[in-house]
Chain A
């Protein structure tokens, strides 16, 4: 059974800091790994998608890596800003045959606060 864990549960940093959010999963047979952002009371916004054959993806100040052998993914946020304050969730997509499914297994999230 796939389980996804995120550490830390909460993080508070001063503006400008570089930071790393961690995600681990128990079953390496994932189709892809996706990072999301959620603002309070809102839906999820997709940040980065890493296919199982990839090692990392970058978008602006965000970089996500994937190491299937160790069951880990990290989200690196460079030069953090107050607008980055949100909950960050990672989710593993499972296989269905040779393709992926819409079934995502989520971690509990890391709530980030960036102080001005």
Chain B
């Protein structure tokens, strides 16, 4: 079956702009989580959506937001981009008892 798909794979944005990242989970998976990975901080949890509801939220500013649609696809939005938002953004879908499966990530560069 198809894995987790993230689009786009690469993005270059200017400070102050906003960006939307997309994640399509594995078919049948209702939980989608987002993570930010940077060399200094490692992998940090952003938020989790389950059946269109945010179930968990990490310690990130309100500029980071997300949503999940009825087909379980999820989007993540970052507004007013800062240089420090440059990172690899990873999406994972999970199912009880099967663990988490990650997409290839979106590499965001803010200039």
The answer to whether A and B come from one shared complex is: yes
B-binding residues in A (CB < 8 A): 32, 34, 36, 41-46, 49, 51, 89, 91, 93, 96, 99-109
B90 within 8 A of partner (CB): yes
CB closest chain-A residue, reference B56: A103
Chain A at the B interface: SS class: strand
| B101 and A46 form a contact (CB under 8 A) | yes
B33 within 8 A of partner (CB): yes
B103 within 8 A of partner (CB): yes
| B33 and A89 form a contact (CB under 8 A) | no
Cα–Cα distance between A108 and B4 once the two chains are bound (Å): 23
Q: Which of A41, A43, A49, A101 contacts B56, CB < 8 Å?
A: A101
Interface Cβ pair total, 8 Å cutoff:
70
Interface residues of B in 9-64 (CB under 8 A from A): 31-33, 35, 42-43, 45, 48, 50, 55-56, 58
B105 within 8 A of partner (CB): yes
| A51 and B97 form a contact (CB under 8 A) | yes
**Given A96-B55, A101-B56, 11 other A-B residues pairs in contact with their CB atoms under 8 A:** A42-B104, A43-B102, A43-B103, A46-B100, A100-B94, A102-B31, A102-B48, A102-B100, A103-B58, A105-B45, A106-B43
Closest 8 A/B residue pairs (Cβ): A102-B33, A49-B99, A102-B31, A44-B102, A106-B43, A102-B48, A43-B104, A43-B102
- B76 — which chain A residues lie within 8 A by C-beta? none
CB closest chain-A residue, reference B50: A102
- B42 — which chain A residues lie within 8 A by C-beta? 106-109
Cα–Cα distance between A43 and B43 once the two chains are bound (Å): 11
| A42 and B32 form a contact (CB under 8 A) | no
| B92 and A104 form a contact (CB under 8 A) | yes
- A107 — which chain B residues lie within 8 A by C-beta? 42
> Distance in Å from the Cβ of A92 to the closest Cβ of chain B?
11
| B33 and A42 form a contact (CB under 8 A) | no
